Amino acid sequence: NAAFDPEVIKKDFPILGRRIRDDARLVYLDSAATSQKPLQVLDAERDFYLHHNAAAHRGAHQLAEEATEGYESARETVAGFVGARADEIVFTRSATESINLVAYAMSNAGRAGEEYADLRVGPGDEILVTEMEHHANLVPWQQLAARTGATLRWVPLTDDGRLDATTFDELIGERTRLVAVTHQSNVLGTVNPVRAIADRAHAVGAVVLVDGAQSVAHQPIDVAELGADFFAFSAHKMLGPNGIGVLWGRRELLERMPPFLTGGSMIEEVRMDRTTFLAPPQRFEAGVPMAPQAVGLAAAVRYLEALGMEHVEAHENALTRLALEALGDIDGVTVVGPRTTRDRGATLAFTVDGIHPHDVGQVLDDRGVAVRVGHHCARPICDRYGIPATARASFYLYNSQDDVKALAEGVRAAQRYFL
Ligand code: PMP
């Protein structure tokens, strides 16, 4: 698409004009950790604070009405972006909180009233995850298993960084109550066949949670097409503000879930000895709503929609192809994850023979190239491939072919320096 020009897009992101270290051009390749924010998002938040700031869902005054309107219309905007109904969108603090909310519901359902009981897991039940999960989609399930006596199982990885589909039949069965899988790996870049996994899980009556933290920013999402029951993501990875996340859930499931955090905003009636709760999504939104963040997230969604997610995806796919070629041309560099652009996103983890990833990151940083090094909150992946850590470059809509070149030149510079 000729209209998709990262050099034009970059102008909306003043931070990308910064100089780094010794007056180097900033090459930001860490969007999988957090994305940069365009002026449109910053302006939307600032406009809220300047002109409409009040506690949403409270107060009889005009500002409170405007804040409520901003918050609720953001819910509609976000719903539209993922093909959902607005009353199935829960605002949380992060993808992490969204996942914890569901995990909590699956151990506490029943305690808050019999109507919630059928989501509760117990001894003999199984929770299935994968070996490529971010800790945010692993630790809450380990903890759920520990609390309830359920058993955690996981789908292993193939040598090229994909889920080993040959194990599904063995792993998904009558005991499986929940399948939690990432849509796109934040390390390997792998995009998982969520629809097929969900269909299989549903055939045995299991609930499916998809961690969309890394996919929603990079490809068109339609929750109906995905076939999952829950889809969790964070605003800060999709050009939006920090501190707000989203849980999409099927209405009939949300209705059967007990509250997670309790307090103001989520109650219907409170007496000194008992409380009834509002229907979803309010049941899960305790406390003063994060209206400024929601308004910022809505601006991010509008920004992405104006570009077109299919164009964002195609642009990143082209950069991925280039990056795979450029890194593949360097002796001693190994991409950890799929080495073709099929079913993979623009996140590339790699190792360089003889150089520790932290040293690679250091040399890159000296040249203005920002990558992440370490285990990227998905430690079991390192264990699987027998490596201590990786360097990870992740591309987004504001990255250009020059940024790919800067990465490859930086890796070569590290080799000249250390080898
Ligand atoms: N899942 C994946 C795949 C992620 O990459 C991340 C963020 N690194 C998360 C979940 C957690 O997101 P947050 O920290 O915003 O809650």
Confidence at residue 59, expressed as pLDDT on a 0 to 100 scale: 80
Instruction: Identify the active-site residue in 208, 377, 406, 411.
Output: 377
Confidence at residue 297, expressed as pLDDT on a 0 to 100 scale: 98
Angle at CA of residue 144, ends 274 and 127, nearest 5°: 130
Q: How many whole angstroms from 299 Cα to the centroid of ligand 1?
A: 21
Span 378-404, average pLDDT:
96
228 lines ligand 1 (CB under 6 A): no
Q: Which of 364, 294, 336, 286 is nearest to 76 (CA)?
A: 294
**pLDDT surpasses 90 at 385:** yes
Span 59-86, average pLDDT:
97
d(CA 280, CA 285): 9
Substitution site in 31, 35, 96, 246 for ligand 1 pocket (most atoms within 8 Å of beta carbon): 96
R_g over Cα of the chain: 22
- In the residue annotation, 377 being an active-site residue is answered as yes
Span 349-364, average pLDDT:
97
Substitution site in 209, 377, 381, 396 for ligand 1 pocket (most atoms within 8 Å of beta carbon): 377
Q: pLDDT category, 119, cuts 50, 70, 90? A: confident
Confidence at residue 118, expressed as pLDDT on a 0 to 100 scale: 79
Confidence at residue 116, expressed as pLDDT on a 0 to 100 scale: 73
Substitution site in 34, 92, 94 for ligand 1 pocket (most atoms within 8 Å of beta carbon): 94
d(CA 352, CA 230): 38
213 lines ligand 1 (CB under 6 A): yes
377 lines ligand 1 (CB under 6 A): yes
* Greatest C-alpha distance within the chain: 71
137 lines ligand 1 (CB under 6 A): yes
Q: How many whole angstroms from 130 Cα to the centroid of ligand 1?
A: 15
How many helices (H) and strands (E) are present in the chain, helices listed first? 14, 17
10 lines ligand 1 (CB under 6 A): no
182 lines ligand 1 (CB under 6 A): yes
Do 361 and 338 touch, CB atoms closer than 8 A?
Answer: no
User: ipTM value of the model?
Assistant: 0.98
Q: What percent of the chain has pLDDT over 70?
A: 98
pTM (predicted TM-score): 0.97
Question: How many CA atoms lie within 13 Å of 67's alpha carbon, on the beta-carbon side?
Answer: 22
Backbone angles phi, psi at 401, to 5 degrees: -60, -30
**pLDDT surpasses 80 at 169:** yes
Q: How many whole angstroms from 352 Cα to the centroid of ligand 1?
A: 26
**pLDDT surpasses 90 at 332:** yes
CA 287 from centre of chain? 23
Site of tokens 């930001």: 28
- For residues 192 and 113, the model is more confident at 192
Q: Identify residue 303 by its one-letter amino acid code.
A: Y
Q: pLDDT category, 348, cuts 50, 70, 90? A: very high
Give 73-98 pLDDT, tens digit per residue. 999 999 999 999 999 999 999 999 99
Ligand 1 atom nearest to 98, measured from its CA? 16
Q: pLDDT category, 58, cuts 50, 70, 90? A: confident
Task: Specify the residue with its C-alpha closest to ligand 1, atom 6.
Answer: 213
214 lines ligand 1 (CB under 6 A): yes
134 lines ligand 1 (CB under 6 A): yes
**pLDDT surpasses 90 at 2:** no
Give 289-315 pLDDT, tens digit per residue. 999 999 999 999 999 999 999 999 999
